[in-house]
Structure 1
Amino acid sequence: MRRPTIADLAEAANVGISTVDRVLNGRDPVRPQTAERVLEAAERIGFHGVTAIRRRLENEKPVMKFGFLLKQSHRKLYQMWAEVLTKAAETYPDAHGRAIVRFVDELAPENTANAMLALSRDVDAIGVITSDHPQINHAVDGLEAEGIPVFTMISDLSAPGRAGYVGNDNVKKGRTAAWFVANMSRRPGKVAVFVGSHRYLSQELGETGFRSFFRESGAEFQMMETMVTLEEPDIAYDITRRLLQTEPDLVGLYVAGGGITGVMRALREDGSPVAKQMIVVGHELTNETRAGLAEGVIKVVLSHPARMLADTLVRAMAEAVQTNRSPTVSQHTLPFEIFTAANI
């Protein structure tokens, strides 16, 4: 059987012979997408130099340092995000990716701003989960001026200098939570919302969507004032216990921010008919929320597709570093996953 030639490879890859020659010999730069197409064609037709092509492309990849600033290192949710983001950075196909993950345990805005500035000295781009605050936005705009793109994940910022956002449509997420409460409740009654902080835009938009649904389609339900957990399970536990003791008409709870583990602990301990029948909707599928679904303590979890989000974020960060990005903020709106006891 005749061995494939350079001309055969050029035809299979739909490029010129000179382009194949540059890929084989590394004489002049070739666009990464074109080089990958040549490699794919070489593998497909059994070209004898495929190993050399693969090695050369691997050696020519740039080293890129991806910085991720997450919250509260003691929370398993953010430990999970650290693992997923690290894997996405290290497996990014177009660069030798290195992940640098740091946490902000004390959530004061100045701590986040200072941590972001410190992280910027060691990385090419930053992905961050944080609240919307003037001090944080000022840091983001300053980094943009210095050529360090900052992307928000899960919750956006209002900083004009942010490079992009990767996450869900949070209004739609809140409306979906309300749909489940309204349609799964045995009877109309009071409905509560927990947010970690009013400064998380994702939570504020989720609350907006939740309330909007009930104004439009659930007038028989009574919306209670929004309650703040400060992202702390113990605070969420105390608020939930108080509601269970004082609100016999409570039928639904949407936990739009942190604290779901505290909510579940209160529900397990209470064991009253109100606790057992209440429709609780939370965010993010973790080992804890998976157990809550299995037990029936919570009914629905609306979750980011973790690996899709991480891969999308890393690619957006890399593209912002490698190109002169436009002043337009890139929006990557991902679908959210819906989990119940039936599909975990």
Structure 2
Amino acid sequence: MVRHRRTTLEDVARAAGVGVATVDRVLNARARVAPETAAQVMAAAEATGYHGKAILKRRIAELAPACRFGFLLQKEGKWVYQRLAEQLRNATLARKDVRADPLFSFVGSLSADRLAEEITRLGSEVDALAIVSVEHPAVNAAVDECASRGVAVYALLSPISAKGLAGYIGMDGLQAGRTAGWAMSRLARPGGDIGVLVGSQRYLGQLANERGFRDAMSRYAPDRVLRESLIYLDDEAVALEAAQELLARSGDLAGIYHSGGGVGGVAQALEASGRAGEITYICHSRSPESEAALRSGVADIVISGSFSQMAQNVTACMAQSVSVGRPVPPPKPERFELLTTENL
């Protein structure tokens, strides 16, 4: 029988590139050690299989800075924000580099003044903040004010132009829109017009989607007629009315590109029209409504990112910002996937 040698302090010190005395100070809390060195020692102890598991867990908890992460989301009753909040909470509580408490706030309207007020209030109570917001000078001013007090602020789902913003975490809107245009140029039946629905032009992400879509269509299907975009305030009931209006205007509609929420309303309009099978429908964001639209054959493609990946990325940036005391820029824009009935 082969006996495995127990990992010693010397082994940990060798792996960490420090002295045994430093390892002892970190693991047994005998004296203060620089946070970077302590983290290096803890990582080496875990990697080498140091036997003091209980000590490691206790010291990791003691060394991790305590902080609060704030999250400002939109309408609380919408599935998309419930799901995003769940992923953000899980990602926050799972972090080991900080001991973070998540604090959530939901704003039920697109009022810029209300959003700015809540950004300022929430920013005064947390160490780092992530927000879903429309573009507006009042919002940008509130973000800049938070940044001036050392609170790193990140935009989720849709970017904003605030100078003090630490970064945007989400899909590349232009790329997503161009992908939708490429797909529409190949899927929509020949000859018909293409309709465009946009939830709100105050979301820079949706504007980028629309621009990318139109750019791609002009490249891949230059002879197609693209109708003027209909704006529906990112509300499902208004989306239903906008889709009905679009269908009524054109008896030769070949496709609908939809940037924004309210997929259920558009799907309802298409089903009621009896023309769903002949109209290519491309929309954004995986949800129960978009999945149902795919399964029923009403929707052809759903362009979707991952809330789980978004939550992990933003909480990692927030944790690093707290640890180093300055905003940490996010990684490159997140990848997205094309969902169809075949890969749900």
Q: Which TM-score bucket, shorter chain as reference? A: over 0.9
2:51 and 2:251 map into 1 onto residues whose CA distance is: 75
Q: Which residue of 2 aligns with 1:131?
A: 134
- Name the structure 1 match of 2:43: 37
Q: How many residues align?
A: 338
Tell me the amino acid that sits aligned with residue 138 of structure 1.
A
One of 256, 260, 264 as aligned partner of 1:257: 260
The aligned counterpart of 1:148 is 151
Alignment of 1:276-291 (within 5 A): 276-291=277-292
Using the alignment, how far apart are the partners of 1:33 and 1:193 within structure 2? 51
Q: Percent of counterpart pairs with the same letter?
A: 34
The aligned residue for residue 226 of structure 1 is 229
Q: Is the 8 A contact 2:313 2:330 kept in 1?
A: no
Q: TM-score, normalised by structure 2?
A: 0.93
1:1-344 paired onto structure 2 within 5 Å: 1=3, 2-26=5-29, 27-29=31-33, 30-31=35-36, 33-43=39-49, 47-272=50-275, 275-325=276-326, 330=330, 332-344=332-344
Matched-pair contact (CA < 8 Å) for 1:165–1:332? no
Asked if the contact 2:198–2:260 (Cα under 8 Å) also holds between the matched residues in 1, the reply is yes
TM-score, normalised by the number of residues in structure 1: 0.93
Q: Secondary structure at the match of 1:333?
A: coil
Please tell me whether the aligned partners of residues 193 and 225 of structure 2 are also in contact (alpha carbons under 8 angstroms). Answer: yes
The 8 Å contact of residues 35 and 57 in structure 1, kept in 2 or not, is answered as: no
1:331 Cα shift?
5.5
Provide the alpha-carbon RMSD of the alignment: 1.8
Supply the distance in 1 between the matched residues of 2:332 and 2:63 (Cα, whole angstroms): 29
Q: Deviations over 1:97-146 (max 9, x none)?
A: 21111111021100100111111222111100111101111111111112
The letter for the 2-side match of 1:4 is: T
Structure 2: distance between partners of 1:137 and 1:80: 26
Q: Deviations over 1:74-114 (max 9, x none)?
A: 21111111111111111112111211111110211001001
CA distance 1:301–1:33, change in 2 (3 Å): farther
**Worse-superposed segment, 26-35 or 177-186:** 26-35
In structure 2, stretches of 5+ residues that fail to align are none
The structural deviation recorded for 1:14 is 4.7
- Do 1:162 and 1:329's aligned partners in 2 also have CA atoms closer than 8 Å? no
Instruction: Specify the code of the residue in structure 1 equivalent to 2:7.
Output: P
Residues 191 and 223, structure 1, Cα contact 8 Å, conserved in 2 = yes
Could you tell me whether the CA contact under 8 Å between 1:164 and 1:331 is conserved in 2?
no
Q: Partners in 2 of 1:11 and 1:17 — Cα distance?
A: 8
- Cα pair distance change 1:4/1:246, threshold 3 Å: closer
